[in-house]
Structure 1
Amino acid sequence: MMANLFSIFEPSSSIFNISLNWLSTLLGLLFMPYLYWASPSRWSLMWSNLTQTLHKEFNALLSSSHMGSSILFVSLFSLIVFNNFLGLLPYVFTSSSHMVMTLSLSLPLWITLMIFGWLNSTNNMFAHLVPQGTPPILMPFMVLIETISNIIRPGTLAIRLAANMIAGHLLLTLLGGTGPSLSTSILTLLIFSQILLLTLESAVAIIQSYVFAVLSTLYTGEIS
């Protein structure tokens, strides 16, 4: 039988005589943005500066009617670069090396841009099919070429990202598989080359994410 109704509010859970009930006071911090209760680290400051720089650069590539959409491409860059770096860790699945993911990123974006462009800027979309200064006799061929190049855009975006991720990982795997059969001196050289390749792959992970986001931004900027 409960002796006192208010005893449920007394701190009773403890470890080494340290009350744990008062930890519930800190749970509110989980619902607050990290920026408000913790000082930013060097990593967070670096990432903030990077995203702000990308935001300014993407805004410069976009037309005035699409200025707010730069946050979409910054988020797209962040998603791809994190997946690329996670794939460099041992025993972590590299999702960005599969066409299922890369096409899932490029195809919906391209379809959305095409629908928006043809519904809202039909004349401008037709104008992109014939570059300025094209001789009249070449106009049918230019329309065909521009149409094909426009259709294959999502495929080129997806294949470029997946192929670069696959190539680097395959090279690292093939070289690493020869390690047990090598002598100590050659094995040292192999480890050094693997470190250099891993550094190169880290750069490729950033560059390919940037290329994917910039090309998507350029395709959006054409629709005005």
Structure 2
Amino acid sequence: MYHYGYYGIDPTFILVLPAIIFAMYAQTKVQTTFNKYLRVGNISGYTGAQVARMILDRNGLYDVRIELIGGSLTDHYDPRSKVLRLSREVYSGTSVASIGVAAHEVGHAIQHANDYFPLILRNSIAPVASFGARFVWILIFAGFILQAYSLIQLGILLYLAVVVFQVITLPVEFNASHRALAQLQNGIITYEEVSPVKKVLRAAALTYVAATLVAIGQLLRLIILSNRRD
């Protein structure tokens, strides 16, 4: 059985703590940046949905539908049904933040249409990563309680899929933002609006970086804990 440090505190938690703090900062950053530029209207007066439709049609993606979805910052592209789902503040909003987020999600639709390899790889790993994220701690806990090393190893392997998924997500998201900015600069936003859009996209990217760091830290922690078993 693994022995804890002083005052019952697990010393391996230090591997994850900096990443968790950074994740909290990233979440705050994206929320404050989004809210700031949500109050700044884009000069064209286009809504997020209009911009999304313009970029989709420009790239020949007439079969991709745009739907309204509940929540805040819940925007995403569903490659299985070819549907772009935008939250109300993005769908109907005419702010710099609204069109930036909408264009980013269209970037994923363009990736899908162009068979962008990192996206294909991420989508193929997604089911395993999702399963791993749900059951890894059950397997790890059961392994330690039952002293069944095979369960611990299985849990670590499943969590490795989560880490790989997070790592692959980084180039996918960065590339989607790059595509979004290129599309927006092609007659949709002015030179003065480029900087605010970049700030919104960069703030959003921080959350993916943070999630990756947390996942890597947790994986290292699991490996150390498994090697310190009696």
Name the TM-score class by shorter chain.
0.3 to 0.5
TM-score by length of 1: 0.33
Q: Which has the larger radius of gyration?
A: 1
